[in-house]
Structure 1
């Protein structure tokens, strides 16, 4: 089946890509810090599902609000509907960082998947997402991913884990 080639999307500006990467990192770390202190019981009774979903959504709204205020400080551009849509789009990775982990916790709630298994899967998923940041940033910068960018991603994942542990330690 041949047809007209799909129109290519305009290339994302470096500023927009940077905003989305920031939201991606922030969302993954917040979700990691949200899941880390959960108990197996919370994963199995639905509390973990709702907690992760509510945290992802409220953090998405807060991040969008903060970014729109920051944009207002950086430019003279008024906060129009188009600007707000752009901020919502750029902040979306905060929300999407919590969707799959919440779904995995939801499986523990609705099925016989053990809560501890769901938590391990969700946490592993988030750590892998953080570890992939190095190569993603390299691509945005027009570079080929290298051993150095993979190491940078692993270091970032370790920093994310450390931040989550600080939250767990302070929250206990």
Structure 2
């Protein structure tokens, strides 16, 4: 997770050095050339303050999502990244550019919060309760409110995290994920 987190800082340094050209590659809703933003948006940030605000939850929640192994982490992260990004592309407001790792952050949080219930694991439910007590207030970010903040990215990241939790639990029980 340290390497993944450091990569975000390197990308931001390149963005600043390029005159902030990279951040133009975010998710541009319903525009074909904005569809590539699904791939790039989680790596891009508006400025150093935006990146700094995302760094700690990105590292901590990503680390916890990684705790069950790299393979599961990749599946969960890819699910959140792609499903959340596509949903933002489909329903985000026209004329907006969605960037930032917060979709992943909300996705990992939602994954960690509901995974234990799907898996019927007391240890994971206990972790979920502790996470909710510490990070749960952040869930208000799925609601519209703060101008310039992609609540759509937060909401669809979180919903994709719930989908990922269900997929992982079903796979762990030997069922074919739906």
Task: Give the structure-1-normalised TM-score.
Answer: 0.28
Task: Give the structure-2-normalised TM-score.
Answer: 0.28
Which structure has the highest helix share of the two? Answer: 1
